[in-house]
């Protein structure tokens, strides 16, 4: 039996669910379209493809199906953005040249897709976040 993980539940009171697969397909397409404008279609489609990989975890699925007050208490404690970023970083950062730097850029974009990291001060260390 394949369980369809939930990416989003509408907050309009209707409780409509969008699966991770549906959300990922739409986001990947939109990212690729935006990337065409600057010659980065493939890079941006990778960002879209991996940005919510962590929503495939049972823990995130369970969180989304909690009652509203429980979700508010847990909000921000169930990380999902770092999963895809870590996968790209671990898989490609050991490569030479451009692949290494592209892995860093894509990982950063994915990990920060809900907000920028505070990088002021010390040298930013992506490995620490992942």
- Total structural domains in the chain? 1
Per residue of the chain (130 residues), what is the pLDDT tens digit? 456 888 878 778 787 888 899 999 999 999 999 999 999 999 999 999 999 999 999 998 888 888 888 888 888 787 888 899 999 999 998 888 899 999 999 999 999 887 766 554 444 565 555 5
- Residues 16 and 23: their CA atoms lie apart, in Å, by 13
**What angle, rounded to 10 degrees, do the helices at 98-111 and 81-92 form?**
170
Residue 1, domain member (yes or no)? no
For residue 42, CA distances in Å to 30, 34, 36 come to 12, 10, 8
Residue 11, domain member (yes or no)? yes
Residue 13, domain member (yes or no)? yes
- Phi, psi (deg, nearest 5) at residue 34: -65, -35
Q: What is the pLDDT of residue 68?
A: 82
Q: What is the pLDDT of residue 17?
A: 86
Q: What is the pLDDT of residue 32?
A: 97
Running DSSP on this structure, what letter comes out for residue 17? E
Domain with 44 in it: 6-129
């Amino acid at each position: 039996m394949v369980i369809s993980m939930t990416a989003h539940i509408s907050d309009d009171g209707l409780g409509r669910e969008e699966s991770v697969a549906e959300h990922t397909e739409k986001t990947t397409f939109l990212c690729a379209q935006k990337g065409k404008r600057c010659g980065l279609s493939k890079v941006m489609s990778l960002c879209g493809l991996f940005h919510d990989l962590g929503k495939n975890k049972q823990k995130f699925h369970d969180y989304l199906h909690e009652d509203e007050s429980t979700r508010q208490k847990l909000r921000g404690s169930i990380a999902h953005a770092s999963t895809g970023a870590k996968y790209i970083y671990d898989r490609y950062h050991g490569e030479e040249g451009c692949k290494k730097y592209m892995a860093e850029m894509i990982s950063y974009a994915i990990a920060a897709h809900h907000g920028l990291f505070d990088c002021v001060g010390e040298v930013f260390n992506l490995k620490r976040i992942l």
